[in-house]
Structures are given as structure tokens and as C-alpha cells.
Amino acid sequence: MKTGGEKYFDLEIGRRLSALRRMRKMSQEDLALQIGISFQQIQKYEKGMNRIAASRLYTMSRILAVSPLYFFDELCGFKDAGCLCCRPVNGCERLLL
């Protein structure tokens, strides 16, 4: 069972996926075909029902022409330079992520 934090992240990443897909004027079926999954799976990702594997999220980001970081930008909900997930990431830290 998902915790509250896990559910929030899955819902927010799904919301961002849906918004980006629509901005690109791409249907769920179009995206699913390019990835090799069913459109129902895309629906589950967008609704936060299923968690997206890192490799699949990377594939989606390539298809949708964004950095994988797009899905995580300010995900914690804070815009605080002291927050670990909001502060800029330098080259060395990026390699560790």
C-alpha cells in the first residue's frame, strides 16, 4: 500500500505526464504505441494508479522532448533554496542522482 508521500508523487508525476502529452497534442494511444504498452497503462500512470519505472519515465521524456527532470522539478512543493529537492544541482551531484 502506498504511503501519503508516495501517492502524492505518483499523482503529481502522472499529472505532469498528462499535461505534457496534451501540450504535444499526443493521444494516450499515440504515446503508448511509441513506448510499446497499452493506452490503459498510460491512463493508469496519468491517474497515479501505477508508478512509472525510471527507465520508462526516461523513454517518455525522450519521446516528449523534455529532460527527465521535468517530472521532478519542485516536486516537494517548496521553493526553498535550503530544501534538498529544490536547490540547484551541480555537475558532481547530478552524477550521483
pLDDT digits (tens, 9 = 90+) for 25-76: 999 999 999 999 999 999 999 999 999 999 999 999 999 999 999 998 877 6
Instruction: Give the helix, strand, coil percentages of the chain, each rounded to 5.
Output: 60, 0, 40
Q: What's the predicted TM-score (pTM) here?
A: 0.75
Based on the number of CB atoms within 10 Å of its own CB, is 86 exposed (0-12), middle (13-18) or buried (19 or more)? middle
Look at phi and psi of residue 67 and say left if phi exceeds 0, alpha if psi is from -120 to 50, else beta: beta
Q: Is the pLDDT of residue 1 over 80?
A: no
Does the domain at 4-96 match CATH 1.10.260.40? Answer given as: yes
Give pLDDT, residue 95.
Answer: 41
